Structure 1
Amino acid sequence: MPDEQIVYVVDDDQGMRDSTLWLFESVGLKAVPFSSGQAFLEACDPKANACVLLDIRMPGMGGLHVQEEMQRREIHLPVIFVSGHADVPIVVRAFKAGAIDFIEKPYNEQLLLDSVQQALNRQPVMMAGQHQSALQERLASLTPREQDVFLPLVKGYTNREIAEQLGISVKTVDLYRSRVMKRLAADHLPALVGMAIAAGMVDPLDLRAT
């Protein structure tokens, strides 16, 4: 079946691989598991109608290195990263290198399925399913204070650091952060970072080092 859709699942956690395979198979998607990035690179079909669900943190070759090696080998399959540790510089680096989505573990099953389906259909998802104009409209709806919190947040500053910068309490930053997430319809930090990148608001040279 040349048009069969495939999801390559690359994760060193066998329990995560098994549950993810079960999820995809339950909706009729073929899933092919790999326990390491090297095994995936040697066995994947670059011409397949496929996407790659790639764990960021793995022993040996981590997800970002797998992504870099895919580019060197001209394997142009859409990549969706998953990670239990989604710090901002990693998220930005992944998006800048061409990832189309970044989902935190433990992930929402419907969110993952939607992202995979859009990847298989070659539809961009890094703006959380929104068109550029809709994204710009939502960003423009932020109040000045929400904007003050949003920008350092996506650059990797902690709530405490933002509070010190703005001369407000950490509790107030928490409040504004939740309002920003709600206004932008983002359910996790990687989604906010993806929006900032898509809108050209994040400069990789201006990110916090970790």
Structure 2
Amino acid sequence: MPNDVVYIVDDDAAVRRSLARLLESAGFVPRSFEAPIQFLDAAPNLARGCILLDVRMDVMSGLEVQAALDRMGCTIPVVVMTGQGDVPTAVRAMKAGAVDFLEKPFDDEVLLEAIERALARSGRPHQAREALEAWNRIAVLSQRERQVLDAIAGGQPNKVIAFKLGISIRTVEVHRARMLHRLGVRQVAQAVRLLVLAGSAPQGVLRQSP
């Protein structure tokens, strides 16, 4: 919703400025924090909104910030931001409670969609439904496409995936493209997000893969 507050926690001044401009243009109210400690000091008094949290910071990592927020009982949804090639860290952040993650450099539209999803998150029933929907989408993948996605989520580059699966790098790229198409997403980060969500789907209500 317009006028919702988005808290930016990133020690890169250029990133903070860029995000603040984008958020303001979309009707959000950005509040930027350079130092994780500064943000954590302010956290108990923050209004509802969404947190954009960088996972790679010098003094304290995003995962450490996330753990501190959890100890405080802070329930503001967290979207983590990570550099390319650091998908495993983002996966750990989601398993620790982050509602989404974005891989830099990210598309403006993808960022705004992630924020809107985070702001719409409202309680466990919604989370369970979202997890089930993710599981159903993951279930349409072929065995090879799922193997490629699992490997990507584990941080393996195409060259390593190709070697382990006994296929060419070009074939890996083909499976990767088909996997994104079947899932209806544009970026690998979005596919990994679905994979992590699917892992929390209620076991008793999962439909069988076709």
User: Which is further off, 148-157 or 33-42?
Assistant: 148-157
Q: CA deviation at 1:132?
A: 4.2
Q: Is 2:130–2:197's contact at 8 Å kept on the other side of the alignment? A: no
**Using the alignment, how far apart are the partners of 1:47 and 1:22 within structure 2?**
21
The alpha-carbon deviation at position 91 of structure 1 amounts to: 1.6
Deviation at 1:86, TM superposition (A): 4.6
Q: Distance in 1 between matches of 2:32 and 2:46?
A: 18
Residues 186 and 192, structure 1, Cα contact 8 Å, conserved in 2:
yes
- The equivalences for 1:57-206 within 5 A come to 57-122=56-121, 131-200=130-199
Contact 1:46/1:77 (<8 A) preserved: no
- 1:199 is displaced (CA, Å) by 1.7
Distance 1:86 1:158 in 2: 8
Matches of 2:101 and 2:143, distance apart in 1? 28
1:204 corresponds to which residue?
none
Distance in 2 between residues matched to 1:37 and 1:132, nearest whole Å = 30
Q: Flag the structure with higher helix content.
A: 2
**Local SS of the residue matching 1:58:** coil
Q: Secondary structure at the match of 1:146?
A: helix
Q: Tell me how far 1:100 sits from its aligned partner.
A: 0.6
- For structure 2, list consecutive stretches of 5 or more residues without a partner in the other structure: 124-128, 201-210
Alignment of 1:8-23 (within 5 A): 8-23=7-22
Is 24-33 or 187-196 further displaced after alignment? 187-196
1:78: Cα distance to partner?
Answer: 0.6
TM-score of the two chains, using structure 2 as the length reference: 0.81
Residues 21-32 of structure 1 aligned to structure 2 (within 5 Å): 21-32=20-31
Post-superposition CA distance 1:106-142 (Å, at most 9, x none): 2211211122122223259xxxxx9445433432322
Contact kept? 1:84, 1:106, Cα under 8 Å: yes
Q: For 1:51, what is the secondary structure of its paired residue?
A: strand
Amino acid paired to 1:112: L
Distance across 2 between alignment mates of 1:84 and 1:102: 11
Deviation, structure 1 residue 103 = 0.7
* TM-score (ref. length: structure 1): 0.81
Distance 1:117 1:147 in 2: 28
Q: Give the deviation of 1:55 after TM superposition.
A: 0.9
> Within 2, Cα distance between the matches of 1:91 and 1:170?
24
Cα distance in 2 between the residues matched to 1:151 and 1:85: 17
Aligned residues: 194
| Aligned sequence identity (%) | 39
* Cα shift readout 1:134-173 (whole Å, capped 9, x = no counterpart): 4334323222332332333323333222222222111111
1:178/1:75 Cα in 2 relative to 1: closer, same or farther (>3 Å)?
same
Structural RMSD (CA): 2.4
User: Which range is displaced more, 160-169 or 54-63?
Assistant: 160-169
In structure 2, the CA distance between the partners of 1:39 and 1:117, relative to structure 1 (3 Å rule), is same
5+ long unaligned stretches in structure 1 = 125-129, 202-210
